[in-house]
A and B are shown apart, each in its own frame.
Chain A
Amino acid sequence: MGHLLENLTQFARLLRSLGLAVPAGSTIDATRAAQHVDLGKRDEFRFALRAVLVRRAEDLQVFDRAFRAFWTKPAGTGTKLDLRPLGSERRFGDPVVEMESLGAGEDSSARERDERAERVRIATYSDREVLREKDFKNLSAEETAQAVRLLREMEWRPAPRTTKRWVPGRGAAPDLRRFLAACARPGAAGDKPPTKGRKAAPRRLVLLCDISGSMERYTRMLLWFACCLAGSLDRVEGFVFATRLTRITHKLRARHESNPFREIAQLVPDWSGGTRIGEALRAFNVQWARRVLGRSAVVLVVSDGWDRGDPAVARREVSRLSRSCHRLIWLSPLLGSPRYKPLTRGIRAVLPFVDDFLPVHNLASLDRLAAHLNSLPAESRTRRAGEGRARTVW
């Protein structure tokens, strides 16, 4: 039992060093919890520890990684621990931490412990940094999974808009109704006249994502991006397009643990086909704009601008789109390359009508997009037809 307590204390320290908020008493809780589960069953043990040590959903992934690293035999070292003293006849998975040194040299074991914690932490940290900067198109399957985890942790809080609705207690406008009610209420002599202000409400985000052949290597991550966005915000509308436009809002909302793509793929007739930006945006303008752009939405178009359609159509439709939304943000994975210049006909046709022209090629660019959305001004920019107003923010 002593070994287990020692190990749990170490493990809790490791979790804290990884940024988890592990309460002081929870090591004891974990020891108690461990008595109630079959330690021979690795998952049972893991879930028990998770139940007592983790308090936030975002931490689950980190916990699992730490669990795997800590409670597994370190590479290159022999099996040192017999789990029989833990009350189990079987070993759970690979035997765990080296314990032999615990009695002998306190120092060496402490050093090893710290090294181990360090190893996990650094791996995580550097993984993150590398991943953040790595272009989506170069991600391996494993890296994609990790990137999705990081994507899920991102916070999306687009700047709210001011509605026409009044709420008491905020702002500076005098609230006559409450003032007079207070006048008549015994003992409620108002020292400060009550005020009211306009209510702030989240802005709707509309995401139009190009899934044509030229975007293929980005589509997967971008759809994950769409799912995460829809998962953390209430008002997200999602559409995908290549030659045709398909609404995928309801598919994004359903919280898929594993794979939203199969269902989306079934909806979409033109997966990885050619792009007709103009026609797709026209379909959006005619069928959906009135229903989803109400109350000044922010529109995000994700496309590299490779367009097989008529640039005149694209120009006309983007112009219309830009006039019917609060802000039009064009996201292109090609902007990740410093040598990229927006020279294709498609992108040149649309840029004059776009408020922001920003990269989406890695996690870092999504971070910056989040920051940009969070700081959008409440007023939309004044627009003149055909005015060159595209700007790259970073």
Chain B
Amino acid sequence: MADSSPLPGSIGALDSMLAREEYVSDRALSVAVYLALRLKRPLLLEGEAGVGKTEVAKALAAALGRELIRMQCYEGLDISHAVYEWNYSRQILEIQLMRGGGDLDRQTAAKELFRREFLIERPLLKALEYAGPPPVLLIDELDRADEEFEGYLLEMLSDYQITIPELGTVRAARPPIVLITSNRTRELHDALKRRCLYCWIDYPDFEKELRIVNAKVPQASRALSEQATAFVQELRKADLYKTAGVSETLDWIAAIVALDADRLTPERIDETLGILLKNQEDMQAVRGEPVRAMLDRAEHRGVRMSYAGQEPSTAWATSSRI
């Protein structure tokens, strides 16, 4: 983590760097990340909740040995929480001290009150001022922030500089690697999108998800991983308000392992359904007979796969554990 690696020289190199961090990428994503690194442009990642958007940033930071600076967005996020804030209590204390000392002339007061040490750095400023190699700046769930904030961000992303009225302009010596994620609870502005490279992350297909499961829940037996992954794939075909994301798959399989089971049964699925689906109506809709049918179809997929003689997990599993 401490020593930073140079940027990967090829998409393949990036792939294997991410794989070493147990992040299973696909071609579209790797290309987008690679271009973002090369072109020094922010990368906007969109996709349903739980497909691993945030994980990309974590894995990338770890793979490159860079610091990860994360800014979680929320409604009402403003400059004082995203960029910087003055430490008011210390400033007020300073005023009291100056009063006590009797030397309270405004010119010096201004200088004394707005000293660098009274400035509280927030993620964006921290990312610009970072002394070491450029960090990975993750602006998470930007769709939650207000449009006004998006406007501010646009400005910052175009010159990688921030102006603090009392101190002057802070400019990044080397721009950070910026990843922005959005769950699309609203559309982001076109102007911001134009600044960024874009990648849509979909729910993974069976092979990709199985690779992720193998990487993240290695304690699960191969049979269980395949069966459970196939079941989740079936579950995603069902008409639900909110289907299971990859993180739910991982939690669920870990839970089943914790219950000391190595095969799925309809009863076991019913018991643990709350880990996959977070919505009462959805759980009611699939519990019982639909679960049975899905499990049945999932097992047939397993059969088809072993007939094909493919063991898709093997090749990757070796490379992932180098």
Contacts and interface: CB of A to CB of B under 8 A. Distances in A.
A285 B106 contact: no
A320 B109 CA distance: 58
Interface in A142-195: 163-166, 176-177, 180-181, 183-187
B80 interface: yes
B109 A183 contact: yes
Interface string B73-85: 0111010100001
Nearest to A201: B146
A373 to B, nearest CB: 22
Nearest to B113: A184
A84 interface: no
A285 B239 CA distance: 12
B91 interface: yes
B38 interface: no
B95 A183 contact: yes
Contact of A185 (B78, B110, B240): B110
A165 B76 contact: yes
A177 B187 CA distance: 32
Interface in A289-318: 290-291, 294-295, 316
Contacts of A316: 281
B239 A286 contact: yes
B76 to A, nearest CB: 3
Nearest to A166: B78
A184 B106 contact: yes
Taking residues whose C-beta sits less than 8 angstroms from the other chain, chain A's interface range is: 20 to 34
Contacts of A163: 75-76, 146
B185 interface: yes
A166 B183 CA distance: 25
A285 B110 contact: no
B278 interface: no
Contact of A177 (B80, B148, B241): B80
Given A180-B113, A186-B106, A294-B185, A165 B239 contact: no
Interface residues of B, number: 29
B46 to A, nearest CB: 12
B233 to A, nearest CB: 19
B106 A291 contact: no
A183 B113 contact: yes
Given A165-B76, A165-B78, A180-B113, A294 B186 contact: yes
Contact of A180 (B91, B185, B239, B240): B91
Interface in A309-352: 316, 320
Contacts of A165: 75-76, 78, 146, 148
B184 interface: yes
Interface string B151-189: 000000000000000100000000000000001111100
B166 A181 contact: yes
Interface string A199-231: 000000000000000000000000000000000
Contacts of A295: 75
B300 to A, nearest CB: 27
A76 B2 CA distance: 97
B87 to A, nearest CB: 10
A82 B95 CA distance: 87
A316 B279 CA distance: 13
B107 interface: yes
A177 B88 contact: yes
A184 B107 CA distance: 7
A184 B114 contact: yes
Nearest to B184: A291
Max chain A CB contacts within 10 Å: which of B109, B113, B185, B239?
B185
B86 interface: yes
Max chain B CB contacts within 10 Å: which of A165, A166, A180, A186?
A180
Nearest to A316: B281
A294 to B, nearest CB: 5
A360 to B, nearest CB: 28
15 contacts: A163-B75, A163-B76, A165-B75, A177-B80, A177-B85, A181-B166, A183-B109, A183-B113, A184-B106, A185-B106, A186-B110, A187-B106, A285-B241, A286-B239, A290-B183
Given A165-B146, A286-B241, 4 more contacts: A165-B76, A180-B88, A183-B109, A186-B106
Q: What 7 A-B pairs come out closest when comparing CB atoms?
A: A164-B76, A184-B110, A176-B88, A186-B106, A164-B75, A294-B185, A184-B113
